[in-house]
Amino acid sequence: MPSTAAPVVIDLKFNAGEVQAALADAFPGRDVINRADPAQAGRDLSQARYAVVWKSQPDLFDRAPNLAAVFSGGAGVDHVLTLPGLPDVPLVRFVDPTLTTRMSEWVVLQCLLHLRQHVAYEAQARRGVWAELPQPEARDLTVGVMGLGVLGQDAARKLKMMGFTVAGWSRRPKTIEGIETYDESGLDAFLARTDLLVGLLPLTAETRGLFDAALFAKLSRKGPFGAPVFINAGRGGSQVEADIVAAVRSGVLHGASLDVFSTEPLDADSPLWTLPNVIVTPHAAAASDIRALFRHVETQIERHEKGLPFEHLVDRTAGY
Ligand X SMILES: NC(=O)c1ccc[n+]([C@@H]2O[C@H](COP(=O)([O-])OP(=O)(O)OC[C@H]3O[C@@H](n4cnc5c(N)ncnc54)[C@H](OP(=O)(O)O)[C@@H]3O)[C@@H](O)[C@H]2O)c1
Binding region for ligand X (CB under 6 A): 74-76, 99, 103, 147-152, 170-172, 184, 200-204, 206-207, 233-235, 259-260, 283, 285-286, 320
Q: Residue 202 or 255: which CB sits closer to ligand X?
A: 202
Closer to ligand X at the Cβ: 228 or 234?
234
Q: How far is the CB of 9 from ligand X (least distance, A)?
A: 23
Residues with active-site annotation: 235, 283
Q: Confirm if 201 and 207 have CB atoms less than 8 A apart.
A: yes
CA distance 11 to 121: 44
The kind and range of the H/E element at 158 are helix 150-161
Q: CA 17, CA 106: separation in Å to the nearest integer?
A: 26
Q: Least CB distance from residue 208 to ligand X, whole Å?
A: 10
CB nearer to ligand X: pick between 235 and 254: 235
Backbone angles phi, psi at 130, to 5 degrees: -105, 100
Measured from the CB atom, is 175 or 274 closer to ligand X?
175
Q: Which residues contact 61 (CB under 8 A, 6 or more apart)?
A: 67, 83, 84, 85, 86, 87
Task: Tell the smallest beta-carbon distance from residue 166 to ligand X (Å).
Answer: 14
Residue 166 CB neighbours (<10 A): 28
Per-residue b/e over 42-66, b at no fewer than 16 CB within 10 Å?
ebebeebbbbbbbebeeebbebbee
Shortest distance, CB of residue 231 to ligand X, whole angstroms?
11
Q: Which residue is nearest to ligand X (CB)?
A: 149
- Please state, in angstroms and rounded to a whole number, the distance separating the CA atoms of residues 153 and 13: 28
Question: Closest distance between ligand X and the C-beta of residue 290, in Å?
Answer: 14
Q: Which CB sits closer to ligand X, 100 or 142?
A: 100
Q: What is the dihedral of CA 156, 161, 163, 168, to 10 degrees?
A: 20
Nearer to ligand X, 53 or 201 (CB): 201
CB 276 within 8 A of CB 249: no
In the complex, the smallest distance separating the C-beta of residue 130 from ligand X, rounded to whole angstroms, is: 36
Let me know the angle formed at the C-alpha of 37 by 33 and 38, rounded to the nearest 5 degrees.
120
